[in-house]
Structure 1
């Protein structure tokens, strides 16, 4: 994203608004692509934000990768990524999570398992809209960076991913406001699932770096 509309800019805005907080509270939210098997974009993103001079606190009820512990101890490990989860499952729990973690900004990459499972993209988009509405019910001034999800290494599935991402773009236009930004982060464009994943689905080291750059 542009530095004027991406996470660096939003973190500065949130820190100004929430002057009583020591750091901007950011919730990485999603499925296995957020949690990671043994690594995800979360570490490199946190390090990049710190290098940019942003005081950030990653928040969530989770603190590990799917394979076990959180990994290197040089970043904030808290998150809300859940391996294998779909949008309806996140929708059912999101009100509790935001009440417990109280984020200023949410990074949302979700829908891969829904689309991969054959759900109609329109139904998944409706569930994601519900997630954002419930997030805003907790904090009407929250900012959401909503990802157009990364591709998978399967062209027929990617046709559905493209339709889904296009619908997310329309959703963002309907939900974005001056006091509570909802911005689309295009994680699809420029990501090669054949080169940037280790299994056709989950980002490898190169894919992680591409995702990190897009969030910023």
Structure 2
């Protein structure tokens, strides 16, 4: 399962250029055909092939709205790996940012109840060029949120999508272009690739 903001790619919002949303999946598809993120509403095409409909990327959704998908329908398929990047829209919409890390923690706790044996890979947010200081503040708080749960025995890791992500790969300041999606795919794959062999 993979869930989070539209910058992860649902095809549900207008792209700055023709649909770039599924492009993070193509590098992963080439490296691991069994990678199947979550979602039941949309059939994406990657390199001309149907990609499993197990993904979500919701335009404008905040952490609390994503949490509304857990346990159902998000965990109806009992995922083994959950890729989660959540909080971009909380930052963009300036939604009580001081409490965003607690909302992320509550979402993670719901995920652990719904899929106690799944590996949950939490990603720091990619840059938001017009509000990156808020992104950095939120990203810096994520470490403690994840570490608290890992120390309690939860199967969770944190990956860094932010460091080294150039603004040139964010044509609208939020959503990646093809190079940005490839960068994201490499970060995800580095975290889960050994589990897919």
TM-score computed with the length of structure 1 as normaliser: 0.75
Q: 1:137 pairs with 113, 120, 126, which one?
A: 113
| Distance apart, 1:48 and its partner CA | 2.2
Change (3 A) 1:108 1:119: same
| Distance apart, 1:74 and its partner CA | 2.6
CA distance in 2, matches of 1:84, 1:42: 21
CA distance in 1, matches of 2:50, 2:128: 28
**Deviation above 4 Å: which 4+ runs of structure 1?**
none
Is the Cα–Cα contact under 8 Å of residues 60 and 101 in structure 1 kept in the other structure?
no
Give the unaligned 5+ runs of structure 2: 12-18, 190-197
Q: 1:163 pairs with 105, 125, 137, which one?
A: 137
Change (3 A) 1:212 1:137: same
Change (3 A) 1:137 1:130: same
Is 1:212 the equivalent of 2:180?
no
Change (3 A) 1:152 1:103: same
Q: Secondary structure at the match of 1:144?
A: strand
Aligned to 2:28: 45
Q: Secondary structure at the match of 1:89?
A: helix
Matches within 5 A, 1:125-204: 125-154=101-130, 157-176=131-150, 180-193=154-167, 195-204=168-177
Aligned to 1:57: 36
Is the Cα–Cα contact under 8 Å of residues 196 and 204 in structure 1 kept in the other structure?
yes
| Distance apart, 1:47 and its partner CA | 2.4
| Distance apart, 1:71 and its partner CA | 5.1
Aligned to 2:97: 121
| Distance apart, 1:121 and its partner CA | 2.8
Change (3 A) 1:57 1:152: closer
